[in-house]
Amino acid sequence: MGESGCTTSVIHVNGVDLHVAEQGSGPAVVLCHGFPGLSYSWRHQLPALAAAGYRAIAPDMRGYGRSSSPGDPSEYDRVTTVADMIGLLDALGIERAFFSGHDFGAQLVWDLPRWAPERVAGLVQLSVPLTPRPPVAPSVSSAHLARKHFLHLHYFQEPGVADRELDARPADFLARVMWALSDTDRYLQVWGHPSEGNGYLDVLPPAPELPWPWLTASEFDHYVNEFTRTGFTGGLNWYRAADYVWHQNADHAHVPIEVPTAFVAGDRDPVLAMMGTDPLDTMRSLAPGLESTTLIDGAGHFVQMQEPDQVNAAMLAFLDRQPRWV
């Protein structure tokens, strides 16, 4: 990963191989990326956590990078993805860990204390606040919204459609989606387009040439090389599993999140804007264990890359308040 002291390995858990980057020793912090991410998305957090006395562990989640990528969306359901994380702890000899998630990784991590409370010491969540379980399946609500404007959640549902578009132009897609999601106003331009006749690249705004203030050309090339090699189907299958997750969470969604929790996001994150009225206040009502909420000025969705020093400081301020154990 280019950081001194960072090692990588492939660990067989729950029927798949997970490629894992790891650095440091001490209490374990498992870092779960989202779409379109990789373990590499935590490159700024791994050395900072290790230097502070933590064992930082960042897998390529199933479907991504050098981990296995099952083709069936049902293999990305909540039963399976929780089992991935528990299997990872078992394989590494870890009884309890802190978990940090971003994007789809955050949605999984929000569920972990409900599914496996004995394995979770606390949460450090990025960008995606906890929300109530919706009254209808995600495919139903996204189809309804897609009648009004382009919505990637709906566009990604049909196997093969988005895959073909994104696989054909990985560099263009990655640049456009990373640039758009790094600021609210840029991403919300997508909603000005109709669904009919449009793919994602038709509606995402163009991105400026690299480097950007928070992403170098060589860092971007790492993403391009990996997604060029793997394609996007594995990542898209997390979206296609949304209905499975919704059904499986029926017996868990009422459980409050009582483990110690910190939330960090950019104040320019489009995800917060798209959630409507005060999602942070809603999160507080669902997570009585929430100890801190940090909004970082000027940062968008990829907050851990856009403002790594501030994210690292918020993570460590929370972690250092918790009882130390190994």
Phi, psi of 292 (to 5 degrees): -155, 145
Question: What's the rounded Cα separation, in Å, for the pair 283 and 256?
Answer: 10
What is the SS3 assignment for 267? coil
**Amino acid letter, residue 230:** T
Tokens found for residue 239: 């979206």
Question: What's the rounded Cα separation, in Å, for the pair 112 and 146?
Answer: 30
Phi, psi of 100 (to 5 degrees): -130, 130
Helix axes 78-92, 104-115, angle to 10 degrees: 80
DSSP code at position 251:
G
**Pairing verdict, β 55-59 and 16-23:** antiparallel
- Kindly state the helix (H) or strand (E) to which residue 146 belongs, with its residue range: helix 138-146
The set of catalytic residues is 103, 301
Find the farthest-apart pair of alpha carbons in the chain and give their distance in angstroms, rounded: 55
DSSP code at position 82:
H
Block residue for tokens 């191989």: 17
